[in-house]
Amino acid sequence: MRDLLITNARLLDPASGLDAPGALLVSGGRIASLKGAPAEGAEVLDAAGAILCPGLVDMRAALGEPGAEHRETIASAAQAAAAGGITTLAVLPDTNPALDDPALVEFMIRRGEATGSLTLLPYAAATKGCAGKELSEYGLLREAGAVAFTDGTRAIAAARTMRLALSYARGFGAMVVQHPEEPSLAGQGAATEGELATRLGLPGLPAAAEAIMVARDIALARLTGGHVHFAHVSTAAALDLIRAAKDEGLRVTCDTAPPYFDLNETAIGDFRTYAKLSPPLRAESDRLAVVAALADGTIDAIASDHQPRDADDKRLPFAQAEAGGAGLATLLGVTLARVHGGDLTLRDALALLTCRPAALLGVEAGRLAEGAPADLCLVAPDRAWQVRDGALPGKAQNSPFDGRALEGRVLATFKAGRRVFG
Amino acid sequence: MSGFSYPILPSGHLLAIEGLEPPHISALLDLAESYALLNRQGKTQRDLLKGRTLINLFFEDSTRTRTSFELAGKRLGADIVNMSVSTSSVNKGETLLDTAATLNAMHTDLLVIRHAQSGAPALLAQKVDAAVINAGDGTHEHPTQALLDALTIRRRKGRLENLVVAICGDVLHSRVARSNIHLLLAMGARVRVVGPPTLMPSECARLGVEVHHDMRAGLDGADVVMMLRLQRERMNSGLVPSPREFFRFYGLDAAKLSHAKPDAIVMHPGPMNRGVEIDSAVADDAARSVIGEQVEMGVAVRMAVLDVLARALRRNA
């Protein structure tokens, strides 16, 4: 492969703080130079002033494969990810079959490699079959390449099981990722309990179900010394607990997803099932708390929380419709809306999408450094576009942002120096 | 009937009371009142819906509501088909949209739907050309019930404005309560909801009602006492410990009713659980109970709704 020289770019690397006009040289799939020394025989790409940043590291997505290929295949997810500037994707294990066997973890890694555009980092099931009972083989799964342990969209409900998971994972230096929702309190809730759910006559899911689970698991992290990571945190009460746990020095981290800082519960409007998510969209006060926690560093990463659904999953009465939203193609654009809105600096926003999740996952990705893989994303931060059902890249079209106008678009994505989008 | 203006429903459907403006509600009640008079005189209007197809699509059993719509449609001359779809075969909503496609192909004009899921009529309304009437969806709304309740109250009390209406019992699961709350508040009544906290919807007060957990305080000075049905499965889900405890504290008997105004009327959407939410002596007290009149007004209100929606279809055709 020829060397590639990207010139006239705004080089932005949140890990090092680099933010300067310049050129970047790619050689042998890695970043050869950030100094922009002209290279003989290299292909030259004029970035025309666009931002060149590390390819995004998305630490939470469910894929349709294996088991729900009618919703999405790895190939179609890779297409959506490339269009969204994502070059590294951590995928949930509550598939069918669940990723609770080393062979399945290796299979997923190889399937990622086969896309040529996307590194798949599988989480392994925290419990066998993600059934919440017996721990899976953390050591063997870790050796096979599992980045961490989680039961995906299911909470590890029993306190004893969670204690064992945190304790045992610690021995392998791995974190346990929790879906923070107390299941017996959440019940069959379809929307956050409150005035809107009351008006719509929908079974309510109290917001406290999140804080209860977070409080319990923080206590278990204290007990075990293990590392608990809370996924898609969405309430002020949970964020306050996490902030305090971090101040105490516990190994507690968290991420959130774009719907929780861009939308509130009113998006479910007249039974709009595309806005049915898990956790459900919250009150405006909670959305504001998520924005504040992004700005003050309490939240460690922004993940797409991509959940592919097809029309049959969503064209149902609200309480019967499946929860979950497609999120790969909109991850960057919706995050940049908070930059345009003045809540986050561009550097902090990109850190939440690149080096910070990479550090949590323990992978060499998400930075612009000489010798690092040339996973790159070229972004026009002000270019406007509109999210439209049917026009999103990839198969899954169930975006909760359907109709939203966004500013900030991926112009090109590079995986190991090869252009995979744009 | 001076100043009578023909009512309209702006959406072309009747999916909910929430969102209707007071003039729409008043005009609908006026028209329903005239149908009530015609019904009492035995006069029918068999040409109004002539050639129109009305389908009663019931995913939940309800003999009285279905019969009421059927009678209303027949009195206006519609062709009526009753479709009862057993709940066991329709736990998946695909059937709902499959059914919608079928009904569309049959060129249905008016579609009355009852469904166990909140929002099912709204979903159907997006997919069919017919005017959709919500005959009760999950725990969301039951608009024609609220209209017939309002008409009954208006006939007995002469007005809705400034009346004190106490809605008692299982408010949490009641679509009747939600529709009545929206309608009565829109028309200027004062609404109280009375029941145990486990049967109150979250942030209910934000709808604009006063919340009471004590029947005596809740009924104090009330003009209208509206009882709700307590379904047996609520007992099983642990929201209420036992029927006898519920009856003791929240069942309407003469002693509790004595706190309401002496001329207060007693209402119930039916079917009643005697000895659970209402004492038979109160339910059958002809001086207080207007339960029979509610049923009568039900037919008149549904005639008015069918009439209004069919006229809109004609305009749009």
Nearest residue on chain A to B202, judged by CA atoms? Answer: A194
Q: Is the pLDDT of residue A261 over 90?
A: yes
Residues 6+ positions from A147 with CB-CB distance below 8 Å? A90, A121, A122, A123, A174, A361, A362, A363
Instruction: Report chain B residues touching chain A, CB-CB < 8 A.
Output: 18, 92-94, 96-97, 115, 117-120, 122-123, 137-141, 175, 178, 201-204, 206-207
Q: How close is the nearest chain B Cα to the Cα of A321, in Å?
A: 8
Gap between the Cα atoms of A282 and A236, Å rounded:
10
- Based on the residue annotation, tell me whether A247 is a catalytic residue of this protein: no
Name the amino acid, one letter, at A30.
R
Place A112 in a pLDDT band, splitting at 50, 70 and 90. Answer: very high
Alpha helices in A311-370 (DSSP H): 311-314, 331-340, 346-353, 355-361
Query: Which residues from A are below 8 Å from B126, CB to CB?
Result: none
pLDDT for A337 equals: 97
3-state secondary structure of B97: helix
From A31-45, A365-379, B20-34, B261-275, the region with the lowest mean pLDDT:
A31-45
Q: What is the pLDDT of residue B10?
A: 86
For residues B152 and B121, the answer to whether their CB atoms sit within 8 Å is no
A&B contacts, CB < 8 Å: 76
- What average pLDDT is seen over chain B? 92
Query: Mean pLDDT, to the nearest integer, of A373-379?
Result: 98
Contact A198 B201 (CB under 8 A): yes
Give me the residue from A194, A312, A318 closest to B94, CB to CB. Answer: A312
Cβ-Cβ contacts under 8 Å, A282 against chain B: none
Q: How confident is the model at residue A175 (pLDDT cuts 50, 70, 90)?
A: very high
Burial of A372 (0-12, 13-18, 19+ CB in 10 A): middle
Residue A26 pLDDT more than 90? yes
Tens digit of pLDDT for each residue in A327-346? 999 999 999 999 999 999 99
Report ipTM (2 d.p.). Answer: 0.91
Kindly list the residues from chain A whose CB atom is less than 8 angstroms away from the CB atom of residue B18. Answer: 199
- Does the pTM of the predicted model rise above 0.90? yes
- Cβ separation A193–B202 shorter than 8 A: yes
Residue B205: per-residue pLDDT? 96
Closest C-alpha among A381, A384, A377, A388 to residue A415: A377
A206–B202 C-beta distance less than 8 A: yes
Residue B310 to chain A, least CA–CA distance (Å): 24
| A201 closest CB neighbour out of B94, B97, B139 | B139
Catalytic: which of A305, A313, A375, A402? A305
* Cβ neighbours of residue A356 closer than 8 Å, sequence gap 6 or more: A300, A301, A366
Mean pLDDT (whole number) for B3-27: 89
pLDDT tens readout for residues A195-232 = 999 999 999 999 999 999 999 999 999 999 999 999 99
CB contact under 8 A, B118 and A319: yes
Q: How confident is the model at residue B94 (pLDDT cuts 50, 70, 90)?
A: low
Give the pLDDT score at B50: 93
pLDDT surpasses 60 at B91:
no
Contact A186, A172 (CB under 8 A): no
Residues in B closer than 8 angstroms to A320, CB to CB, are 92-93, 117
- Out of A195, A202, A316, the one facing B203 most closely (by C-beta) is A195
Between B10 and B26, the higher pLDDT residue = B26
Q: Out of A36-50, A257-271, A313-327, which region has the weakest mean confidence (pLDDT)?
A: A36-50
- Contacting residues of A for B207, CB less than 8 Å apart: 195, 198-199
Share of chain B above pLDDT 90, in %: 79
Q: pLDDT tens digits, residue range B143-161?
A: 999 999 999 999 999 999 9
| Euclidean distance between CA atoms A292 and A296, whole angstroms | 6
Confidence of residue B1 (pLDDT cuts 50, 70, 90): very low
Tokens of B64: 């009285």
CA dihedral B89, B91, B94, B98 (to 10 degrees): 40
How far is it, in rounded angstroms, from Cα B15 to Cα B141?
8
DSSP A203: P
Q: 3-state class of A365 per DSSP?
A: coil
Q: Compare CB distances from A320 to B93, B203, B204 and report the shortest one's residue.
A: B93
A281 to chain B, closest Cα gap in Å: 16
Cβ separation of A270 and B201 shorter than 8 Å? Answer: no
Give the model's pLDDT for residue A375. Answer: 98
Kindly indicate the confidence band of residue B315, based on its pLDDT and cuts at 50, 70 and 90: low
Give the three-class secondary structure for B161.
coil
pLDDT value at position B237? 82
pLDDT-based confidence at B316, cuts 50/70/90? low
Q: Among the listed ranges A187-201, B35-49, B127-141, B174-188, which one has the minimum average pLDDT value?
A: B35-49
Based on its alpha-carbon atoms, the radius of gyration of chain A, rounded to whole angstroms, reads: 20
**B93, pLDDT greater than 80:** no
CA A418 vs CA A118, A358, A375: distances in Å? 11, 21, 8
Cβ distance B66 to B74 under 8 Å? Answer: no
Return the pLDDT at B2: 43
| pLDDT at A162 > cutoff 80 | yes
